[in-house]
Structure 1
Amino acid sequence: MLREGGERGPGHDTAPAPTLGGDLDGLLRRTRAGGLRVDAAVDLGALGPEGADALPPMVSREGYRIVQEALSNALKHAGPDTTVALRVGLDGSGLEIVAENPLPDPARAEPAPARTGGGHGLRGIADRARLLGGTAEAGPADATPGTRVWRLHVRLPFTGHA
């Protein structure tokens, strides 16, 4: 689904796509090892003892990819000396993902490096959310008085347009 067809050629691995249930801990470990500080709060306890494993498979898979892109964007644009606050939890009848990182000081900001490939950015996140009947919003926001952050807020309903 979502751009997979053209990215794989003959002989490429067809391993199952990563999910929030089975792979989020590894993603967080690798991201932290890459230098980005991540303050993660994952609360899926209302789903029962299975937690993230009880998420609908498509929501779990696309949720993982959204978190992966959010962390990648924070590293690319805010740099490794920043902290990302990541919240993954339930919102009524869906999954909610919020990622926030401080905006760089415009007086000290360096020009962004030229894009060399990788993910599909905010457009890809919005496409994934829309595919599932959800929403994605991203942009500068007030965190606390006098503190601005870049905030990504995604909601994926458990039933949607998939």
Structure 2
Amino acid sequence: MTNPVIESPRSGRVAPEYTRTGASKGNFEMVAWLFMRVSGIILVVLIFVHLWTSLIDGDGIKGVDFGFVAGKWASPIWQIWDLVMLWLAMLHGTNGVRTIINDYAEKDSTRFWLKSVLYASTVVIIVLGTLVIFTFDPCPVIDGVAHVAPYCPAP
């Protein structure tokens, strides 16, 4: 019995099914990998500060209501904070699911449709979330009656 010859991993011989085509060359996957690491670190900070200000520093979960959110979003700093958290979380999650689809969807057509649904839902959630953050009226007027709260300017 002879031992099979195992080529050196760096011998330069690559099976045809693993060769890169001209369309697949580039740095996209490396940039996506780097984005996951950087956005993950930033998200940890954003989320823990969010949880601290919402739960620990306040009245706990029972204190999170319309007034709490309205008071928080009356400040542009918290609007931007939540916007960055929304965008990073959605893009981070989308990139992760894109990787899973690439790994497990065997047919090109399945991969195409799964990623199309993923990207469409990501755009919808980012657009709706951004609209909610910037069009949220903390001092609403309902049926001609201004609902004044301590964080609202005087009418």
> Larger Rg: 1 or 2?
2
Same fold (TM over 0.5): no
Greater share of strand residues, 1 or 2? 1
TM-score when normalising by structure 1? 0.27
Greater share of helix residues, 1 or 2? 2
TM-score when normalising by structure 2? 0.28
